[in-house]
Amino acid sequence: MPKLHIRTEINGEPAEFLAEPHQTLLDALRNELGLTGTKEGCGTGDCGACSVTFDGQLVCSCLVLAAEAEGARIGTVEGLASGEALHPLQQKFLEHAALQCGVCTPGFLVAAKALLDRNPDPDERTVRYALAGNLCRCTGYDKIIRAVLDAAAELRGEPA
Amino acid sequence: MHDTRYEAPRSIEEAVIMLSSGSVDDVRVLAGGTDLLVQMTSGGRSPSLIINLKHIPELTRIRFDDSGALYLGAAANAFTIGQNERIRQQFPGLHEAVGLIGSDQIQGRASVGGNLCNASPAADTIPSLLTSKAVCHIAGPGGATRTLPVSEFILGPGRNALQAGELLVELELPAPAAHSADAYQRLIPRSEMDIAVVGVSVRVTVDNTGTCTDASVALGAVAPTPILVPEAAAALVGTRLEPADLERAAAAASAACRPLDDKRGTAEYRRRVAGVLTKRVAAEAAERARGR
């Protein structure tokens, strides 16, 4: 079986690559497109490290075939910052020390952005449930939750 | 896995022709992929053909007909279903079950049709499909179609009634009667992201005196397949759904269990929890039905 020629859109830019039919989107992002911000954790949809958006929907890229990206819009952690300017979520993760080893961080950022895009003013419980699909072995989660709530407040234009 | 092909048909007819090109194990459909990709990457399964169903409009559609019946495309994802306000209103128990499937990431992909076809004994949506008397609409070779109640669709753990070349197109959930409501709860060892130790769906219909005129009780994770428990339903019908009535339904539910002993729970524990949850879920469904 020859490789499939996939035309897609990643972080607003057109992109194309060659994929094996059984290759995952996670693998294609990292190894065909060099977008290594998206991390591989479990590879079975349990840890959320590989979170991306697919046509606006938060998904685990390890559970998506690369071939499915044809004609789709993919959003990865590389799309969060504007040039050198960090996204407020990224800035608040730094300020709150919401990461240690950093492997889970891109997934948390993408999942948190997906939440805030549809719910700009979530309460703590909502944030905890929305991020239940992302596992972190370093922080104990609390700093991550604080960072997301703080970023949400900033994005709403509320004073710190 | 080396010779896998990938296809994304645009119509049911195309998909059925592709499905007919090989054996059930050799040709796999991709609805949400949350089971299939794990089976593939963990090495257990290497299909020769993967058919992505998400470009077939009928498979991702969610609609209500004039009678109020709900039609859920087999590949419609759980997140989209969860966002549907009319489903939440009309099928609150199914809505709860769908909302318990995995994380937001998993819900973005997982489908009710896939949950049904994979036929796990612990599948969260199947008890709700059973109590809502859901019907499978199936397409087959040569334009053939047939319907099958969900109760006849599940044959055993991981086994469904689809024949070679057949495709589950959509699930039809008849409009609930007036003053009818369902509820679903499950027990898991943590607060999110786990597989049910026991799952219970109850639907009750009440008249304007509060007497139960119809009931349906289904259990998950306590038998080789999710099961309807008519004895538990019978214990509710004709009563005012008082605590003693719920207690009788709970005893019937526990008695119907044929559970496994495994790391998630002993058989005895599952039997007891099935009773406890039946009481709670019946009370919840009753409260909802009385409020309608």
- A3: three-class secondary structure by DSSP: coil
Q: Which residue of B has its CA nearest to A67?
A: B6
Q: What is the pLDDT of residues B174-184, one digit of tens each?
A: 999 999 999 99
* pLDDT tens string B220-231: 999 999 999 999
Contact at CB, B37 and A21, closer than 8 angstroms: no
Is residue B49 pLDDT above 50, yes or no? yes
Chain B residues closer than 8 Å to A43 by CB: 41
- Bridge partner list, B60: none
pLDDT of residue B25: 77
Regarding the domain with residue range B180-290, which homologous superfamily does it belong to in the CATH classification? CO dehydrogenase flavoprotein, C-terminal domain (3.30.390.50)
Distance from CA of A45 to the nearest CA of B (A): 7
Domains A4-79 and A88-155 share a fold: no
Across A79-84, average pLDDT: 96
Q: Which residues of A touch B46 (CB under 8 A)?
A: 22
- CB contact set of A110 (below 8 Å; sequence gap of 6+): A51, A52, A53, A58, A75, A76, A77, A80
Please write down the HEC assignment for all residues of chain B.
CCCCEEECCCCHHHHHHHHCCCCCCCEEEECCCCCHHHHHHCCCCCCCEEEECCCCHHHHCEEECCCCCEEEECCCEHHHHHCCHHHHHHCHHHHHHHHCCCCHHHHCCCEHHHHHHHCCCCCCHHHHHHHCCCEEEEECHHHCEEEEEHHHHEEECCEECCCCCCEEEEEEECCCCCCEEEEEEEECCCCCCCCCCEEEEEEEEECCCCCEEEEEEEEECCCCCCEECHHHHHHHCCCCCCHHHHHHHHHHHHHHCCCCCECCECHHHHHHHHHHHHHHHHHHHHHHHHCC
Q: Do A129 and B38 touch (CB under 8 A)?
A: no
Hey, which CATH number is domain B5-52, 2.40.128, 3.30.43, 2.60.120, 3.90.1310? Answer: 3.30.43
pTM metric for this prediction? 0.94
- Min Cα separation B209/chain A (Å): 38
Q: Which helix (H) or strand (E) holds A95?
A: helix A88-95
From B102, which residue of chain A is nearest by alpha-carbon distance?
Answer: A133
**pLDDT, tens digit, 9 for 90 and up, residues B107-164:** 999 999 999 999 999 999 999 999 999 999 999 999 999 999 999 999 999 999 999 9
Contacts with B38 from chain A: Cβ below 8 Å: 44-45, 63
Check: CB of residue A72 under 8 Å from CB of residue A54: yes
Cα B261 to Cα B272: distance, rounded to the nearest angstrom: 13
CA distance B192 to chain A (A): 7
Left, alpha or beta for B136 (phi > 0: left; psi -120 to 50: alpha)?
A: beta
Model confidence pLDDT, tens digit, residues A124-143: 999 999 999 999 999 999 99
Q: Which fold has domain A88-155?
A: DNA polymerase; domain 1 (1.10.150)
Q: What is the pLDDT of residues B80-103, one digit of tens each?
A: 999 999 999 999 999 999 999 999
CATH topology of domain B57-173: 3.30.465
pLDDT tens profile B53-88: 999 999 999 999 999 999 999 999 999 999 999 999
- Burial of residue B165, with CB atoms counted within 10 A of its CB: 0-12 exposed, 13-18 middle, 19 or more buried: buried
CB B52 within 8 A of CB A71: no
Q: Give residue-wise pLDDT tens across range A91-111.
A: 999 999 999 999 999 999 999
pLDDT at B193 over 50: yes
Q: Does the beta-carbon distance from A65 to B37 stay under 8 Å?
A: yes
Q: Which residues of A touch B104 (CB under 8 A)?
A: 58, 111, 114-115, 130, 132-133
Q: How many angstroms separate the CA atoms of B72 and B290, rounded?
A: 27
Residues 6+ apart with CB under 8 A from B172: B69, B70, B71, B134, B135, B137, B147
Interface contact flag, B105 A111, Cβ < 8 Å: yes
Domain locations along chain B: 5-52, 57-173, 180-290
**Region A134-155: what's the mean pLDDT?**
97
Within 8 A of A42 by CB-CB distance, chain B residues are: none
- Would you give the end-to-end CA distance of chain B in angstroms? 53
**Chain A interface mutation, best of B79, B104, B107, highest count of A Cβ atoms under 10 Å:** B104
Among B4, B38, B41, beta carbon nearest to A1: B4
User: Does residue B1 register a pLDDT over 60?
Assistant: no
In degrees and rounded to multiples of 5, residue B14 shows phi and psi of -60, -45
Q: What is the ipTM of this complex?
A: 0.94
Helix (H) or strand (E) holding A88: helix A88-95
Residue B206's φ and ψ, nearest 5 degrees, are: -120, 155
Q: Please give, rounded to a whole number of angstroms, the shortest distance from the CA of B33 to a CA of chain A.
A: 6
When pLDDT is averaged across residues A2-26 and rounded to a whole number, the result is 96
Instruction: Pick the residue from chain A with its C-alpha nearest to B9.
Output: A68
- Cβ <8 Å between B50 and A51: no
CB contact under 8 A, B102 and A62: no
Amino acid type, A157: G
Q: Any residues with CB less than 8 A from the CB of A105 and at least 6 apart, and which?
A: A93, A98, A99
Q: Which positions in chain A touch B106 (Cβ < 8 Å)?
A: 45, 60, 63, 133
Give residues with Cβ within 8 angstroms of B43, minimum separation 6. Answer: none
pLDDT of residue B197: 93
CB-nearest partner of A58 from B40, B46, B108: B108
Q: Which CATH superfamily is domain A4-79 in?
A: Beta-grasp domain (3.10.20.30)
A59/B103 Cβ within 8 A: no
Give the angle B277-B281-B286 at the CA atoms, nearest 5°: 150
Picking from B249, B271, B273, the residue whose alpha carbon sits closest to that of residue B260 is B271
- pLDDT class for B23, splitting at 50, 70, 90? confident
SS3 A116: helix
Q: If you average pLDDT over every residue of chain B, what do you get?
A: 95
Q: What residues form DSSP beta bridges with B5?
A: B49
In chain A, what are the domain boundaries?
4-79, 88-155
User: Region A141-149: what's the mean pLDDT?
Assistant: 98
Residue A122 has pLDDT above 50, yes or no: yes
Give bridge partners of residue B156 from the DSSP assignment.
B159
Q: pLDDT band for position A160 (50/70/90)?
A: low
State whether B104 and A111 contact (CB < 8 Å). Answer: yes
Residue of A nearest to B83 (CA): A118
**Which residue carries 């009678």 as its tokens?**
B67
Q: How many CA atoms lie within 13 A of B200 on its CB side?
A: 31
